[in-house]
Structure formats: structure tokens, C-alpha cells
Amino acid sequence: MVNPAKHVVNYFRESKEELEKVTWPTRQATIRYSIIVVGVAVLMGAFFAGLDSALNLGLEKLIGLTT
């Protein structure tokens, strides 16, 4: 008969062993990457806001021509 508790304990033991093998980034690298991610997100947000405004203006002008 299979003991489910043994499998759970084994899973966590193996997970801990694998996490000890990970090379974690330094604090400085984490800060640098976070700044890059936020910067790209802001740029993409500005791009899509501008695109939305341009399309909205174009549609308003197109609708204005038909009425």
C-alpha cells in the first residue's frame, strides 16, 4: 500500500535540494532588472495609450463623415 505522507515528505525534501542548487541573482541585479521591467511596462503603456487615442480620433472623424 502506498503511503501518501511519505510522497509528500519526499517531494518537499527534493524541492529543498533543488532550490539549494539555484544560483540566485544579487540584490543589485534584481533591482536593475526590476527597473528595466517597470520602464518597459511604462513605455508599452504609453505606446498603447497613444495608439488608442489615435484610433479613437480616427473613428470619431470617420463617424462624423457619415452623419
**Residue 4, pLDDT score:** 83
Query: What gap in Å lies between CA 17 and CA 14, rounded to an integer?
Result: 5
Half-sphere exposure at residue 44, Cβ-oriented, CA atoms within 13 angstroms = 6
Rounded Cα gap, residues 67 and 65, in angstroms: 6
Domain edges within the chain: 25-67
pLDDT tens digits, 5-54 = 899 999 999 999 999 999 999 999 999 999 999 999 999 999 999 999 99
pLDDT of 29: 98
pTM: 0.65
| Sole residue written with cell 462624423 | 64
What per-residue confidence (pLDDT) applies to 49?
99
